[in-house]
Structure 1
Amino acid sequence: MAQSSTGWGWDIAARSLQDAAETYNEQEGAEISVEELGSDSWEQRFQTAITSGSGAPDFSVVQNFDVTNYASVNGLTDLTSRIDEAGIREDIVETKWGTVSHDDAVYAIPWDIGPTGIYYKRDLYEEAGIDPNSIETWDDFIEAGQQLPDDVAMVNLPQGDMGQTWRMYVRQLGGQAFTDDGAVAIGSEESIRVAQLMKDMSDAGISTRIELWSGSWFTSFAEGTLASLPSAAWMDGTLRAELPDTAGNWGVFKLPAFEPGGNRASNRGGSNMAIPSQISDQSVVNRAFDYCLWAMTTPEVQNTMLEEYGLFPSLTTAYEADIYDQEQEFYDGQPIFRLFAEVATEIQPYNYTVDSPEAQDALETELGRMLDGAKSPEQAMTDAAQTVADRTDRELA
């Protein structure tokens, strides 16, 4: 009888795993299946299963910031020895290992990452005389944005996304929400520089504040009232699916640096494959791990997931494939995957903790107040740091 194993995932992550499972089942004579859930439904069901100690899947997709949360309550299987035996550490983008580790143990197999860049509308840039190749720093970006017509915004600073945006930019500077020893670092010089950048964008009149993923957000790109989108490689799949009529009118360049010659790489998002600790049948654990390892570390599988679903691999051996240098019609022939592969190897590490959600909430609130004119960047970040320290009983860095 074939060994069966059932996993959970959401949206395109689940679908890509289902496709991979069909190939794996044929090759191995196994019965791997993946249940697709909405992301909110997954969170509720997985949290309930881990908390109650029963009802968990044999394996599951787990987002970067969730690995620490579930590992800290002994909800995930320690995979350290299996990972070491598989010998895959050097094949994965180095900074990814920090997102799957807790107390020096590895609790998930790394999957996709979110190397960043600026997606831009070619027609809007060209009409305003903006050369993306000349944008090397954020100061350059702001100056370029001032060349656009008054009814066209250079960049969006969306409510509800300030914490995530802060994290994307602070990682360029090697900044953190929490230090290696757990102190709150939101009041750091790097953090204040990021807040100042957002304020500078707003003060320069180049920004708008449209809710992310809303109909008006997509319309702003379709109608040409928003020119740029700082985001990650996975946004490619969304743009293709939601804005097919804009094909050929997009380009991508690396995030501008904070100073000439500075780091232009960051990360936004990413997920991994974990096995709940309540799965006690070792034959099931073995099958689940074997499938997840195969799916995550086989270049052909990872590149199919990239091509079909826009999920960018942390597996560096995948970057040798022809797809990374292929001209992409949606981007007027630009081979954008090679750009993202270059960014992926330069991403700075980041510390996730069980209190990362508290940091996100405090940043969201205080950055919003700053953009409303109520606080300076330094005061906003100082207040956010104090809020997190008070709520978590952590020290200030």
Structure 2
Amino acid sequence: MKDPADPSLRRRQVIQALGLAGAGSLAGCIGGSSGGGDSEIEGWAWNVAAKALSDAADTYNEENDTNIAVDELGRNTHEQRLQTAITSGTGAPEFTAVQNYDVTSYGSKNGLTDLSDRIDDSVRDDIIDGKWETVNVDGADMAFPWDIGPTGIFYKRDRYDEAGIDPDSIETWDDFIEAGKQLPDDVAMVNIPKEEISQLWRMLFRQLGGQSFTEDGAVNIHSEESVRVAQLLMDMKDAGITQRIGLWSGGWFTSFAEGTIASLPSAAWMDGTLRAELSDTAGNWGVYKLPAFEPGGNRASNRGGSNMAIPAQISDEEVVDTTYDYIEYAMTTPEIQNMMLEEYGLFPSLTTAYDADIYDEELDFYDGQPVFRLFAEVAQEIEPYSYTTDTPEVNNAITTELGRMLEGNKSPEQAVQDAAETVADRSDRDLA
């Protein structure tokens, strides 16, 4: 089977299938002076998220006589404008995309609308379990779950084949390291630049079921799970299989194009980046699940994801009703969610979307491998993870201390201990 078809064609097909043939049966027909007609309901999102939400709004508007529009902002611009609006209590849009760690930050400041009473149990059952913990702040659902980042190892088929590496034989991280040793000296198995450290650490920490903070709020990033992650990163470096090229730099893309880096631990959304930026490498990629820390261990984790929220300063109930109805429609209609996946690489947390044929399509970019099915399997095995207002402190401390570790200045145990003490000091929390 071929790769997903032209985006504009798929968009028209979705509009025909949903907007003109019964989207109203999937989403409540709420109108009126505030929610419908010429009165615009504005949303904010970044880059591809904005494009995906705008496409969903097209079908919703067509059927419900509403005027929902989405402003596309750069990620940094979105963050700055939303933070200013939430902090000042004015200027926020009717709805917005929100990254996982920002739900806790804005929700704890009473900046987001509690959606708990609006979400039906049937809807809850259709969303990946671990995603609900991401949007929950002190027992309240302050956002609606959207996309997730089920993880895997993207790899260059030619480099693996030339070195005699069978990805199916890589079941543990020890296997991964040993396979990396088979590569030529000028080819690295994996890249670990400084700006990647905290994200890679959290992905692996979560794979082990780790939590940055205990239930009573104590700092826990010096736990046994964290030491194991730090030791793994150190073992990779000591084995001589790593490189440190700046993430998203020209050199980073060139390394994968030329095959001087053979593997890329990441999430499903990386698919869109690879296709867009490295189209000349089509057919030379594959994906396998994260190796486990021990034989038979968990091979699933999550990296990234976003949600939909309504700022608390939006007080018109009719507007809130219409806005929520659109959000629920966009987030719980399988055809819409799968359009977002095909066009923009946004992997749904909606499990009912996984029944579609696209998950079993043999994709040319991956030499016929149906990678969406692999990610769907991973998605349903993801361990829950809690974010707090001090998650940024964790990111900063882990980046600093594990960076020093990789430079040879301290042991894994000392690195995570120092990181934990830094977070405890800056957040006024106890150590676990």
Letter in 2 for 1:76: L
Secondary structure in structure 2 of the residue aligned to 1:391: helix
Deviating 4+ runs (over 3 angstroms): none
Look up the match of 2:87: 51
**Which of these residues, 30, 38, 51, is aligned with residue 15 of structure 1?**
51
1:368 aligns with 2:403: yes
Question: 2:140 is matched with which residue: 100, 105, 117?
Answer: 105
Q: Any gaps of 5 or more consecutive residues in structure 1? A: none
Percentage of pairs with the same residue: 72
Amino acid corresponding to residue 236 of structure 1 in structure 2: D
Alpha-carbon displacement from aligned partner over 1:118-150 (angstroms, at most 9, x marks no partner): 000000000000000000000000000000000
Q: Does 1:247 align with 2:282?
A: yes
Q: Deviations over 1:231-289 (max 9, x none)?
A: 00000000000000000000000000000000000000000000000000111111110
State the Cα deviation string for residues 208-237 of structure 1 (Å, max 9, x = none). Answer: 011111110000001110000000000000
SS of structure 1 residue aligned to 2:72: strand
Matching of residue 211 in structure 1 with residue 259 in structure 2: no
Amino acid at match of 2:40: S
CA distance in 2, matches of 1:394, 1:325: 47
2:311 paired with 1:258: no
1:197 counterpart letter in structure 2: L
Residue 252 of structure 1 aligns to a residue in which SS? strand
Matches within 5 A, 1:104-143: 104-143=139-178
1-structure distance, mates of 2:191, 2:299: 19
Map of 1:183-332 to 2, 5 A cutoff? 183-332=218-367
- 2 CA distance for matches of 1:20 and 1:349? 28
Find the aligned partners of 1:157 and 1:283 in 2 and give their Cα distance. 49
Paired amino acid for 1:137: T
Structure 2 stretches lacking a partner, 5+ long: 1-32
Q: Report whether the alignment pairs 1:27 with 2:56.
A: no
Whether the aligned pair in 2 keeps the contact of 1:180 and 1:351 (CA below 8 Å) is no
Q: Which amino acid aligns with 1:18?
A: S
| Secondary structure class of the residue paired with 1:395 | coil
363, 369, 376: which is aligned to 1:341?
376
Aligned length: 396
Structure 1 residue identity aligned to 2:367: D
Q: Which moved more, 1:178-187 or 1:149-158?
A: 178-187
Alpha-carbon contact 1:179-1:351 (below 8 Å) kept: no
| 1:96 has 2:125 as partner | no
SS of 2:69's partner is strand
Determine if contact 1:14/1:35 at 8 Å carries over to the other structure: yes
1:150 matched to 2:185: yes
SS at match of 2:195: coil
Alignment counterpart, residue 100 of structure 2, candidates 64, 78, 83: 64
Pair 1:73-2:109 in alignment: yes
1:394 matched to which residue of 2?
Answer: 429
- Per-residue deviation, residues 86-113 of structure 1 (Å, max 9, x unmatched): 6310000000000000001001110000
**Structure 1: which amino acid aligns with 2:241?**
I
Q: 2:382 and 2:46 mapped to 1: Cα distance?
A: 25
Alpha-carbon distance in 2 for matches of 1:181, 1:293: 33
TM-score (norm 2): 0.91
Aligned-partner Cα distance in 1 for 2:152–2:182: 21
Q: Which residue type is aligned with residue 346 of structure 1?
A: E
Deviations 1:303-344 (A, max 9, x none): 000000000000000000000001000000000000000000
In structure 1, distance between residues paired with 2:124 and 2:341: 21
CA contact (8 A) 1:63 1:270 kept: yes
DSSP 3-state at the match of 2:119: helix
CA deviations on 1:1-40 (whole Å, 9 max, x unpaired) are 5253110000000011111111110011110000000000
1:251 counterpart letter in structure 2: G
> Secondary structure in 2 aligned to 1:151?
coil
* Equivalent position amino acid for 2:90 in 1: S
Query: What residue is the counterpart of 1:87 in the other structure?
Result: 122
| CA distance in 1 between partners of 2:309 and 2:405 (Å) | 39
For 1:182 and 1:293, locate their aligned partners in 2 and report how far apart those are by CA, in whole Å. Answer: 32
Cα distance in 2 between the residues matched to 1:309 and 1:174:
29
State the partner residue of 2:216: 181
Distance in 1 (alpha carbons) for counterparts of 2:382 and 2:258? 33
1:182 CA displacement: 1.2
The one-letter code sitting in structure 1 at the alignment partner of 2:363 is Q
TM-score, normalising length: structure 1: 0.99
Partner amino acid for 1:73?
A: K
**RMSD (CA atoms):** 0.7
Aligned mates of 2:53, 2:42 — CA distance in 1 = 11
Return the offset for 1:158: 1.3
Aligned partner of residue 88 in structure 1, secondary structure: helix
- 2:6 is matched with none
